[in-house]
Structure 1
Amino acid sequence: MDRSTSASQDHSPLACMPSALAANQRAAHHDDADRLFHTAVQERIDLPDGLAVRCAATDYDLVMTFVAQERRCCPFFHFVIEITPNHGPIWLRITGAEGTKAVLEAGLEALREVCAPDSVENGPGV
């Protein structure tokens, strides 16, 4: 895969743009993020420039929907989706330029705070 064409895109400002999603889309995206990171994630690996999460093959639609919306409001994230054979797990890596991990962690912490009562009961979370 040739990344030379995306070199200039790697220097996007680390600024989320919530207005890239309509209000109803933001609410649905928040629900998807909550479900993904508080219920679907089976494993999390911290990376120097982001994180990787493992989900079940049955969470394919959730992962794809989350990425499709997240890349609209946070265009500085670099997403890699690995779909393993034979209905194996899906790995989602979210990385980016310097500072991306801190932005990602802040977003996940905010999600934890908003969803704290449910996340304790809903699974391992991130």
Structure 2
Amino acid sequence: MSEENISLACQIENLEQQRQRVAEVRAMFQQATQVEELPDGYAFSFPTEDLWARRLLEFILFEKICCPFFTFALIFAAQHGPLQLQLRGSAEVKDIIQAEFLASS
């Protein structure tokens, strides 16, 4: 399926569950140590601890099902540098990231 055929809608159908998920995700992303805007998305840096690696992997595994329009990259920097999660996609996807992940609660 090409990117232009992907629906830009969350697959969680229950509105209360959607609201709860957005709140959880915002709380997690507020803990990012750095946010970098990319041409097609954003890169979020997190501490290099294993706990964060697991949390981010769980985030990716959930989001790839409910929001299949994201492209994910989880980068483990050399020398125990920061853990970076990149969320990428179309211009519309970038707008969703800004609205849902960067907005204050």
TM-score normalised by L of structure 2: 0.77
Is 1:54 matched with 2:45? yes
The structural deviation recorded for 1:102 is: 0.8
Q: State the superposition RMSD in angstroms.
A: 2.5
For the residues of structure 2 that align with 1:82 and 1:61, how far apart are their CA atoms? Answer: 13
Q: Percent identity?
A: 26
| Structure 1 unpaired stretches of 5+ | 1-7, 114-126
What is aligned with 2:12? 18
Amino acid at match of 2:54: D
Within 5 Å, which residues of 2 pair with 1:1-126? 8-11=1-4, 12-19=6-13, 23=17, 27=20, 30-31=23-24, 33-39=25-31, 41-58=32-49, 59-108=52-101, 112-113=104-105
Local SS of the residue matching 2:59: helix
Instruction: Report the number of matched residues.
Output: 100
Which segment is superposed worse, 73-82 or 84-93?
84-93
- CA change 1:99–1:29 in 2 (3 A) is closer
> Whose helix proportion is higher, 1 or 2?
1
What is aligned with 1:5? none
For the residues of structure 1 that align with 2:86 and 2:102, how far apart are their CA atoms? Answer: 18
Q: What are the Cα deviations for residues 62-120 of structure 1, in whole angstroms up to 9, with x where unaligned?
A: 1111111111111000111111233221111101123111111121255x23xxxxxxx
TM-score normalised by L of structure 1: 0.66
| Structure 2 unpaired stretches of 5+ | none
